[in-house]
C-alpha cells in the first residue's frame, strides 16, 4: 500500500514496522535527517551526463550523533554500479588497531553513455538497525572529485604519472586504475586493482596505453590512516584491543603531472651506448694482444740469437776437445748457462738430494739422525728461512723427486746430445623501467666474459709452452695457477646478473643477491694475491667457499639481528679480533704452527724468551709491518662497529673486506718495488686507470639514489632525473664505472708480475 503525500515525498510500507521515504534531492544542498530501524530514506538525484565531458560526483556524509549503537548504511545505486559504505567507517591499521571515521566522502564514477547528452538518475539509500534515532548530514556535489581521469592523446603510447608534495607526511598512496566502477579509493582497498605506489614527497608510475583498453585511466590518491608504510612513527598504542582511535585531520596538498615517457629511440640509443662502451674493451684487448704478440715474436728472435751463440760456444768447445783438450759435460752445460743466463736451465741439486736419501737407506743407524739434506726438504726449515724465494715453495716432496730423477737425468742428457748434433746448423728462424638499472649491469657480464677469454688465452699459451718443455715456463716466473682467475671472472658475471635481479625491486629480501658476490670477489682477490708469492697454497674449493659461506652467514645474521643489538655486536667484534689474530699468526709463521692445547704455553714461552729475557726484533720485519698495520685497521673497524653499531651491516662487512684487500695490495706493490722488481708499462697503465675509475665510481655510489633499508616511499625521495642520454641515472653510471674498475683490478692482478716471466724462481722473493 502506498500513499503520495507530496510531490517530493513518497511513503512505502515495506513491512509492518519499516517505512521507506523517498525524496527528490538537489546537488550542493546539505540534508540534515534522522534515521532509525523503523524508517529508511532514499534520496533521488538526476544529472546530465555528456559523452565528451567527465564530471565527478562526490557524496559526503557526516554522522552527528556521538554515540551510535549501530552504524548507518549508505547504498548508492547507479545505472551500472552499486556502491555501499557504513558510517562510522572502521579502518584497521598495524597490529589490528582500529580507526573510526564519522565523516566520509566517496566519489562516484561516471556511467558510460553513447549519446551526446543523457539524463541519468542515481539513488542514495540510508538505513540502520539502531532503534534510537541517529542524526546525519548528506551532501552531493560535483566540485570535489578526488581522483582524476587521463585520456591518451593520439601518438602517445606511454606516459609517466608523477605526484609531488611538499610534505613527507601523512603517508599517501597513488593508484592507477582502469575506467570502471566502483573506484577503489579507500585505504583498505586502493591496492586491490591496477598499479600503486606509497609516497611521502614523490611518486612516479609509467603507464602504457596497451594496458588500458579504454585508452584512459584514473589517477587516485588516498591518504593512509597510518604513516608506518612510509617509514613514519606509530603514534597510538592502545591498551584495550577494542579501543577506537581518532586519526584526526589527515590532509595533503599534491601536484599531479602527466607527461609523455621516453620513446623507443631513447631506449635504442641507451642500449647501443651500453654495448658500445663495453665492446670497445673487446676491441682494445684485441689490439693489445696483437701488439703483445708482435713483441713476443721479437723477443723470441733474440732468444734464438742467444741460442745460436750458445751453439757456437759448444762447437768451439768440441773443437778444442778434438785438439786434445778435455771438456766435461758439466763445463759445456756451464758455458751454455752463462751464454743464456735468462732462458737456460739451472743445475739443481736433485742428484745430491736423491743420493743422500738413497745412501741413508743403506744404514740403519743414520735413520736416527737428521741429515743435511733435510735442510732442502723439511717444511719447518724451508718456510722459516729469513729470506724465502718462490722456488723454496714451488717444490715437491723429495720422494717424488727421487722417483722421477732417473727420467729427468735421461732427458737432460738427451737435450745436450741434441744441441751438439744441430751445432753445425745454427739457423735462427722466425717463430710463427628500472630497465636502465638492469641494462647498466650488462657491463659486469660482458667484462667478466672478456676476462675469462683473456685467462683462457694465457692458459692455452702456457700449456703449449709446457708441452714444448720451455725453460721459461717450467723454471721462470710466478708459477701459473689460473683456477682462481676463472673463479674471479665468473663471480664478476654473476655479480652483474644478480645485481640486475636486485634492481628489479630493491628490498629487504633480495639485497643479499649481489652483496654475496661482492664478498666472494674480495675474498678471491685476496686469495689470489697471496697465492702469487706462495705457490704451495692452492686452496681447495671446499675450504675457500666454506669461509665465504661463513662470511655471508654472518652478514645475514647482522642484517636480521644486528640493528641496535649490543650483544650481537660484542660477539661479532670478538670473533673479528680473534680471526684477525689467528690469521696473522698463520701468515707470519707461514703455516708452521699448531692450534692445540699447548698454544698458550708456547705463547708464554715466546714472550718470555723474546721479550723479557732478551729483547730481540722480529725475524720477518716486512711481514710484521704488514700484520701490525692490518691488526690496527681491523681492530679499529671492530671498535667502530661496536661503538657506532651501523644499521647497514652488509656494507660494514664489505668495508672490512675491501680495506684488508687494499692494504694487502698496497703492501704487495711496495714489497715488489723494494725487492728490486719493476712494474711493466701495461700493468702501470692498468693501475693508474683503475685508480681513477674507482674514484669516479665511488663518487656516484655515495649519491644514494636507492636503498633497501628504507621503505619504498622513503627510497623514492632520493630519486633524480636521468642525467646521461635522458636514460641513465647516477646509479647506472656507478654500474658502468664499477664494472670497468673491477675489470681493471683483475687485469692489475693478472699483469702485475709479468716482468718476472724471465726471472728464475730462486731469485723471486716471497713476501
Start and end residues for every CATH 2.60.120.380 domain found in the chain: 1-142
Provide mean pLDDT across the span 478-491.
88
Quote the pLDDT of residue 616.
Answer: 65
- pLDDT of 661 above 50: yes
Average pLDDT of the chain, as a whole number: 74
- pLDDT of 255 above 70: yes
Q: Per mean pLDDT, which of 45-49, 145-149, 544-548, 713-717 is the most reliable?
A: 45-49
* pLDDT tens digits for range 38-81: 888 899 988 887 776 767 788 889 888 776 678 889 998 888 78
The answer to whether the beta carbons of residues 398 and 377 sit under 8 Å apart is yes
Quote the pLDDT of residue 632.
Answer: 92
Start and end residues for every CATH 1.20.1070 domain found in the chain: 435-563+647-763
3-state secondary structure of 47: strand
Q: What are the angstrom distances between the C-alpha of 255 and each of 176, 262, 276, 593?
A: 15, 21, 39, 70
When mean pLDDT is compared across 260-269, 501-510, 531-540, 587-596, the lowest value belongs to: 587-596
Q: State the CB neighbour count (10 A cutoff) for residue 730.
A: 19
Confidence of residue 504 (pLDDT cuts 50, 70, 90): confident
Quote the pLDDT of residue 5.
Answer: 35
pTM: 0.66
Quote the pLDDT of residue 68.
Answer: 65
CATH topology of domain 1-142: Jelly Rolls (2.60.120)
C-alpha cell at 606: 715466546
The CA-CA-CA angle for residues 364, 370, 376, to 5°, reads 125
Quote the pLDDT of residue 613.
Answer: 65
597 φ, ψ to 5°? -70, -20
Confidence of residue 359 (pLDDT cuts 50, 70, 90): very low
* pLDDT tens digits for range 183-239: 787 777 887 888 888 888 888 888 888 888 888 888 888 888 777 778 777 665 555
- pLDDT of 538 above 90: no
- pLDDT of 259 above 80: yes
* 435-563+647-763: CATH number: 1.20.1070
C-alpha cell at 244: 577506537
What CA–CA distance (Å, rounded) separates 332 from 287?
A: 43
Length of the chain: 767
Provide mean pLDDT across the span 99-114.
78
Confidence of residue 9 (pLDDT cuts 50, 70, 90): very low
Q: What are the angstrom distances between the C-alpha of 582 and each of 546, 591, 631?
A: 17, 11, 11
* pLDDT tens digits for range 433-476: 577 778 888 899 999 999 999 999 989 988 888 888 887 777 78
Percent of the chain whose pLDDT exceeds 70? 69
Amino acid at each position: 500500500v502506498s500513499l503520495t503525500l507530496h510531490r517530493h515525498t513518497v511513503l512505502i510500507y515495506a513491512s509492518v514496522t519499516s517505512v521507506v521515504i523517498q525524496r527528490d534531492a538537489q546537488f550542493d544542498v546539505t540534508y540534515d535527517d534522522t534515521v532509525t530501524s523503523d524508517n529508511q530514506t532514499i534520496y533521488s538525484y538526476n544529472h546530465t551526463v555528456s559523452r565528451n565531458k567527465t564530471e565527478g560526483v562526490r557524496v559526503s556524509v557526516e554522522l552527528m550523533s556521538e554515540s551510535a549503537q549501530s552504524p548507518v548504511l549508505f547504498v548508492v545505486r547507479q545505472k551500472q554500479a552499486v556502491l555501499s559504505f557504513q558510517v562510522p567507517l572502521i579502518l584497521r591499521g598495524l597490529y589490528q588497531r582500529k580507526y573510526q571515521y564519522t565523516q566520509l566522502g566517496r566519489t562516484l564514477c561516471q556511467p558510460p553513455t553513447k549519446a551526446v547528452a543523457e539524463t541519468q538518475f542515481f539513488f542514495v539509500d540510508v538505513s540502520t538497525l539502531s532503534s534510537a534515532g541517529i542524526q546525519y548530514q548528506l551532501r552531493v556535489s560535483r566540485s570535489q572529485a578526488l581522483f582524476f581521469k587521463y585520456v591518451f592523446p593520439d601518438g602517445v603510447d606511454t606516459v609517466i604519472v608523477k605526484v609531488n608534495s611538499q610534505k613527507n607526511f601523512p603517508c599517501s598512496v597513488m593508484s592507477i586504475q582502469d575506467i570502471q566502477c566502483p573506484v577503489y579509493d579507500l585505504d583498505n582497498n586502493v591496492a586491490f586493482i591496477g598499479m600503486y605506489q606509497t609516497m611521502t614527497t614523490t611518486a612516479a608510475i609509467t603507464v602504457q596505453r596497451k594496458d588500458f583498453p579504454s585508452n584512459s585511466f584514473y589517477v587516485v590518491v588516498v591518504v593512509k590512516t597510518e604513516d608506518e608504510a612510509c617509514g613514519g612513527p606509530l603514534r597510538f598504542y592502545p591498551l584495550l584491543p577494542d579501543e577506537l582511535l581518532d586519526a584526526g585531520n589527515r590532509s595533503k596538498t599534491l601536484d599531479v603531472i602527466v607527461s609523455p615517457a621516453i620513446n623507443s629511440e631513447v631506449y635504442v640509443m641507451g642500449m647501443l651506448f651500453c654495448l658500445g662502451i663495453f665492446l670497445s674493451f673487446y676491441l682494445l684487448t684485441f689490439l693489445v694482444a696483437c701488439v703483445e704478440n708482435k713483441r713476443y715474436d721479437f723477443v723470441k728472435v733474440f732468444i734464438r740469437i742467444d741460442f745460436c751463440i750458445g751453439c757456437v760456444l759448444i762447437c768451439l768447445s768440441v773443437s778444442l776437445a778434438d785438439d786434445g783438450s778435455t771438456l766435461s759435460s758439466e763445463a759445456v752445460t756451464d758455458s751454455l748457462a752463462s751464454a743464456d743466463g735468462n732462458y737456460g736451465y739451472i743445475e739443481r741439486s736433485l742428484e745430491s738430494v736423491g743420493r743422500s736419501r738413497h745412501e741413508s737407506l743403506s744404514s740403519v743407524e743414520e735413520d736416527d739422525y737428521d741429515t743435511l739434506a733435510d735442510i732442502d726438504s723439511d717444511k719447518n726449515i724451508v718456510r722459516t728461512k729469513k729470506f724465502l724465494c718462490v722456488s723454496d715453495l714451488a717444490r715437491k716432496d723429495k720422494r717424488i723427486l727421487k722417483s722421477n730423477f732417473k727420467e729427468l737425468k735421461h732427458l737432460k742428457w738427451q737435450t745436450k746430445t741434441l744441441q751438439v748434433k744441430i751445432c753445425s746448423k745454427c739457423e735462427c728462424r722466425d717463430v710463427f623501467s628500472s630497465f636502465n638499472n638492469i641494462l647498466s649491469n650488462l657491463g659486469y657480464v660482458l667484462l667478466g666474459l672478456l676476462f675469462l677469454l683473456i685467462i683462457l688465452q694465457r692458459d692455452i699459451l702456457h700449456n703449449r709452452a709446457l708441452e714444448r718443455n720451455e725453460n721459461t715456463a717450467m723454471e721462470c716466473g710466478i708459477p701459473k695457477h689460473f683456477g682462481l682467475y676463472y673463479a674471479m671472472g665468473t663471480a664478476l658475471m654473476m655479480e652483474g646478473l644478480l645485481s640486475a635481479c636486485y634492481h628489479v625491486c630493491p628490498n629487504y629480501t633480495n639485497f643479499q643477491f649481489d652483496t654475496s658476490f661482492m664478498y666472494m670477489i674480495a675474498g678471491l682477490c685476496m686469495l689470489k694475491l697471496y697465492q702469487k708469492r706462495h705457490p704451495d697454497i692452492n686452496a681447495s674449493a671446499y675450504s675457500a667457499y666454506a669461509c665465504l659461506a661463513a662470511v655471508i652467514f654472518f652478514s645475514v645474521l647482522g642484517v636480521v639481528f644486528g640493528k641496535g643489538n649490543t650483544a650481537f655486536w660484542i660477539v661479532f667484534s670478538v670473533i673479528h679480533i680473534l680471526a684477525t689474530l689467528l690469521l696473522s699468526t698463520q701468515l707470519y709463521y707461514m703455516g708452521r704452527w699448531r692450534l692445540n692445547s699447548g698454544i698458550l704455553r708456547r705463547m708464554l714461552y715466546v714472550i718470555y724468551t723474546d721479550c723479557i729475557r732478551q729483547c730481540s726484533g722480529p725475524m720477518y720485519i716486512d711481514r710484521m709491518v704488514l700484520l701490525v698495520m692490518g691488526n690496527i685497521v681491523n681492530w679499529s673497524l671492530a671498535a667502530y662497529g661496536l661503538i657506532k653499531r651501523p644499521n647497514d651491516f652488509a656494507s660494514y662487512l664489505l668495508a672490512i673486506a675491501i680495506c684488508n684487500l687494499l692494504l694487502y695490495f698496497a703492501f704487495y706493490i711496495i714489497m715488489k718495488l723494494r725487492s728490486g722488481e719493476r712494474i711493466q708499462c701495461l700493468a702501470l697503465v692498468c693501475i693508474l686507470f683503475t685508480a681513477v675509475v674507482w674514484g669516479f665510481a665511488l663518487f656516484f655510489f655515495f649519491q644514494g639514489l636507492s636503498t633497501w633499508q628504507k621503505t619504498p616511499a622513503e627510497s623514492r625521495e632520493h630519486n633524480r632525473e636521468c642525467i646521461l642520454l635522458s636514460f641513465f641515472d647516477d646509479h647506472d653510471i656507478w654500474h658502468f664505472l664499477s664494472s670497468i674498475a673491477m675489470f681493471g683490478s683483475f687485469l692489475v692482478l693478472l699483469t702485475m708480475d709479468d716482468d718476472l716471466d724471465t726471472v728464475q724462481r730462486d731469485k723471486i722473493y716471497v713476501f
